[in-house]
């Protein structure tokens, strides 16, 4: 097959490498950092704490299994995971606590007991989320939306027919407030799913109410050894298939000859190839690697998704009331999202997410300790005073979790590392440190993401969280599948 160069060893770049190598292409991956993973990296802190650096919630695990199967391997020889139960522990500002059990009926019953909304209404809402998911996945997720063939397929017609129920015209928050008019805490619980692609529930279309189905219907999973094991096991597979990984080798230019992509130039060398796949964020791919080519300005100018501020804390005790995923909600959710998306700052009372992998992987912290990944949603970098915001937010987070847990957490912190939006941008080249490329804060967002190929430049493809179908592990894996399909059609 035609030779392929992949720019970046993020999860989508690795998955694309596996697919192209399995289809018989010689593949080289050029990675700027000293190792693979991109946002999905890992880190350790003094005292024996290991952390997953970026993603922590894993859904649609069959998309990973599929990569091993297409290479003729048994996934379980490389990568194992279990279904999480419970999924999440929710702590509301008024002191109420809700445990999200994996079983939908058990979760619905828990909501009735703790918050008062009848279980039947919760079950009905979750069933509708599943219906929306099934109506749209074939269209919005599995194919390139930008090829004429996709527009004419039966799946697209089915999805378009379902759109009135899917609520393209109302927001996610309006949809939830209508479903649960008497239960603002349950509305907040479901509104939070907008943050799974870095969006604002008060702006994002109600269509995104299909996201809860991923977690509650299909399931949340935990990979043995943590999320980093996904990248690690796929790199092992790629290497077995003959993929060459070159680290510390940033690509500086995509080479174009006679209107066709012919290779890349790195700091060290020049490579020619018939195919180039960029796993680098699409904005710097055009701005830095293709400075003389016309760029799709409208697509690149779409508002960015939110970013994150993360505190990685080694904590010197154990909290039995916490699980793998824990949410400490803000008092005023509207104010929190206005702070992020309108004022471009961090709310003084942010919702706090705490992920603790040592609950499942005890070697991630010393005995009797825990490894806390503490994350707050924040705007992407636009030159804010991050050091002041980090200090303000650390204090707000400590006050909030200490109040909810009835114990001062500050004095228990044995080690700390901080990752802020400029740091995310530096490490992964994501524009502004946005976690999920552009946001889905308007109904056309799905159509305005960059396609998985370059219209003007034959031979150039795109995968990863900044292009179609979107950010997050499952969608990044689907982008790799779409790229491999497009390459197969073109060659
Ligand atoms: P990236 O991970 O962005 O990697 C791109 C790679 O390209 C990097 O390794 C970079 O060094 C390399 N690169 C860039 N430019 C060049 C160049 N010029 N030359 C060579 N190499 C280059 N998703 C979920 O599903 N669940 C979650 O719970 C979740 N939580 C998250 C929490 C955080 C804090 C973050 C940061 C992300 C989270 N996400 C989550 C999103 C998920 O991590 C990303 O969507 C996904 O990992 C992005 O993968 P990617 O392949 O697009 O590339």
pLDDT in tens, 76-94: 999 999 999 999 999 999 9
CB neighbour burial string for 76-97, b if at least 16 within 10 angstroms, e if fewer: eebbebeebebbbbbbbbeeee
Q: What is the pLDDT of residue 136?
A: 79
248 & 100 share domain? no
The CA 39 to ligand 1 mean position distance, Å, reads 4
182 & 290 share domain? no
- The two structure tokens encoding residue 6: 């992949």
CB 55 within 8 A of CB 40: yes
Cβ of 254 less than 6 Å from ligand 1: no
Q: What is the pLDDT of residue 153?
A: 62
**Nearest Cα residue to atom 18 of ligand 1:** 251
Comparing C-alpha atoms, which of 208, 383, 380, 258 is closest to residue 308?
Answer: 380
- The two structure tokens encoding residue 448: 């305005």
Cβ of 374 less than 6 Å from ligand 1: no
C-beta neighbour count of 394 within 10 angstroms: 19
Cβ of 477 less than 6 Å from ligand 1: no
Q: What is the pLDDT of residue 170?
A: 87
Q: H or E element: which one contains 479? A: helix 473-490
231 found inside a domain? yes
User: To the nearest 10°, the Cα dihedral for 399, 405, 406, 410?
Assistant: -50
Q: What is the pLDDT of residue 279?
A: 98
| Ligand 1 atom closest to 419 (CA) | 34
The CA 22 to ligand 1 mean position distance, Å, reads 23
What's the Rg (C-alpha) of the chain? Answer: 22
Which of 428, 449, 470 is the last residue before a domain boundary? Answer: 428
- The two structure tokens encoding residue 378: 């924040």
At 84 the three-state DSSP class reads coil
Comparing C-alpha atoms, which of 104, 102, 60 is closest to residue 81?
Answer: 60
Comparing C-alpha atoms, which of 35, 24, 87 is closest to residue 58?
Answer: 87
258 & 380 share domain? no
- Backbone angles phi and psi of 166, in degrees to 5: -75, -15
264 & 340 share domain? no
97 & 207 share domain? yes
At 251 the three-state DSSP class reads strand
Q: H or E element: which one contains 106? A: helix 104-115
**Nearest Cα residue to atom 30 of ligand 1:** 55
Cβ of 9 less than 6 Å from ligand 1: yes
478 found inside a domain? yes
Counting ligand 1 atoms within 8 A of each CB, the residue from 7, 12, 18, 38 with the most, and so the one to mutate, is 38
The CA 33 to ligand 1 mean position distance, Å, reads 12
CB 78 within 8 A of CB 229: no
CB 424 within 8 A of CB 416: no
Cα separation, 198 vs 362, in Å, equals 30
Q: H or E element: which one contains 148? A: helix 148-151
Cβ of 227 less than 6 Å from ligand 1: no
Cβ of 251 less than 6 Å from ligand 1: yes
CB-side neighbour CA atoms (13 Å) of 134: 7
CB 144 within 8 A of CB 486: yes
Which of 170, 192, 219 is the last residue before a domain boundary? Answer: 219
212 & 91 share domain? yes
Ramachandran category for residue 459: left, alpha or beta (phi over 0 → left; psi -120 to 50 → alpha): left
279 & 344 share domain? no
- The two structure tokens encoding residue 211: 């996201």
Cα separation, 331 vs 184, in Å, equals 11
54 found inside a domain? no
Which of 219, 234, 255 is the last residue before a domain boundary? Answer: 219
**Nearest Cα residue to atom 9 of ligand 1:** 38
CATH of the domain at 457: 3.50.50.60
CB-side neighbour CA atoms (13 Å) of 25: 24
pLDDT < 50 positions in the chain: none
- The two structure tokens encoding residue 13: 């770049």
Total domain count for the chain? Answer: 3
48 found inside a domain? no
- Residue 100 exposed, middle or buried by CB count within 10 Å (0-12, 13-18, 19+): buried
Domain enclosing residue 20, as ranges: 4-39+60-81+225-299+437-490
46 found inside a domain? no
Cβ of 39 less than 6 Å from ligand 1: yes
414 & 453 share domain? no
Q: Is the ipTM of this complex over 0.95?
A: yes
User: To the nearest 10°, the Cα dihedral for 197, 173, 143, 75?
Assistant: 50
Comparing C-alpha atoms, which of 224, 270, 285 is closest to residue 12?
Answer: 285
Q: What is the pLDDT of residue 210?
A: 87
**Nearest Cα residue to atom 29 of ligand 1:** 55
174 & 193 share domain? yes
- Residue 218 exposed, middle or buried by CB count within 10 Å (0-12, 13-18, 19+): middle
- The two structure tokens encoding residue 478: 């689907």
**Nearest Cα residue to atom 34 of ligand 1:** 54
419 & 311 share domain? yes
Cβ neighbours of residue 479 closer than 8 Å, sequence gap 6 or more: 12, 16, 452, 462, 463, 464, 465, 467, 468, 469
55 found inside a domain? no
128 & 114 share domain? yes
Q: What is the pLDDT of residue 205?
A: 86
Counting ligand 1 atoms within 8 A of each CB, the residue from 40, 55, 281 with the most, and so the one to mutate, is 55
Cβ of 135 less than 6 Å from ligand 1: no
Cβ of 441 less than 6 Å from ligand 1: no
Give CA separation, 428 vs 181, 301, 382, in Å. Answer: 42, 20, 17
327 found inside a domain? yes
Comparing C-alpha atoms, which of 76, 23, 64 is closest to residue 40?
Answer: 64
Distance, CA of 93 to chain centre: 26
53 found inside a domain? no
Q: What is the pLDDT of residue 439?
A: 81
Q: What is the pLDDT of residue 197?
A: 87
- Backbone angles phi and psi of 381, in degrees to 5: -70, 120
């Amino acid at each position: 097959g035609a030779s392929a160069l992949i720019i970046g060893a993020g999860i989508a770049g690795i998955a694309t490498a596996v697919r192209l190598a399995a289809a018989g292409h010689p593949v080289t991956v050029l990675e700027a950092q000293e190792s693979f993973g991109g946002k999905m990296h890992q880190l350790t802190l003094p005292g024996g704490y290991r952390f997953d650096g970026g993603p922590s919630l894993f859904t649609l695990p069959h998309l990973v299994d599929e990569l091993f199967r297409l290479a003729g391997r048994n996934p379980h020889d490389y990568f194992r995971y279990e279904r999480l139960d419970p999924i999440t522990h929710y702590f509301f500002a008024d002191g109420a606590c809700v445990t999200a059990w994996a079983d939908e009926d058990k979760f619905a019953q828990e909501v009735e007991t703790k918050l008062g909304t009848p279980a039947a209404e919760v079950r009905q809402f979750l069933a509708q989320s599943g219906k929306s998911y099934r109506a749209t996945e074939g269209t919005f997720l599995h194919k390139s939306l930008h090829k004429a063939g996709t527009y004419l397929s039966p799946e697209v017609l089915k999805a378009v027919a379902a759109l009135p129920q899917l609520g393209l015209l109302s927001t996610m928050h309006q949809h939830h407030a209508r479903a649960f008019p008497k239960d603002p805490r349950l509305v907040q619980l479901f509104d939070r799913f907008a943050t799974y692609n870095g969006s604002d529930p008060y702006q994002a279309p109600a269509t995104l109410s299909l996201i809860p189905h991923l977690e509650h219907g299909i399931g949340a999973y935990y990979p043995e050894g943590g999320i980093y094991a996904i990248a690690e096991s796929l790199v092992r597979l790629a290497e077995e298939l003959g993929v060459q990984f070159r680290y510390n080798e940033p690509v500086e230019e995509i080479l174009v000859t006679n209107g066709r992509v012919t290779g890349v130039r790195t700091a060290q060398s020049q490579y020619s190839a018939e195919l180039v796949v960029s796993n680098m964020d699409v904005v710097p791919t055009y701005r830095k690697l293709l400075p003389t080519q016309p760029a799709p300005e409208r697509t690149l100018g779409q508002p960015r998704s939110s970013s994150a501020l993360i505190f990685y804390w080694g904590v010197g005790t154990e909290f039995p009331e916490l699980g793998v995923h824990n949410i400490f909600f803000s008092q005023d959710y509207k104010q929190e999202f206005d702070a992020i998306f309108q004022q471009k700052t961090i709310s003084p009372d942010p919702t706090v997410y705490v992920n603790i992998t040592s609950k499942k992987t005890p070697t991630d912290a010393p005995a009797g300790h825990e490894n806390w990944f503490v994350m707050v949603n924040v705007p992407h970098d636009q030159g804010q005073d991050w050091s002041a915001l980090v200090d303000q937010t650390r204090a707000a987070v400590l006050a909030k979790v200490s109040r909810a847990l009835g114990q001062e957490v500050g004095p228990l912190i044995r080690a700390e590392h901080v990752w802020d939006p400029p740091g995310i941008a530096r490490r992964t080249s994501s524009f502004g440190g946005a976690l999920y490329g552009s946001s889905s804060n308007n109904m056309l967002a799905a159509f305005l993401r960059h396609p998985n190929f370059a219209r003007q430049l034959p031979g150039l493809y795109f995968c990863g969280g900044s292009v179609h179908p979107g950010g997050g592990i499952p969608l990044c894996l689907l982008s790799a599948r779409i790229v491999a399909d497009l390459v197969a059609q073109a060659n």
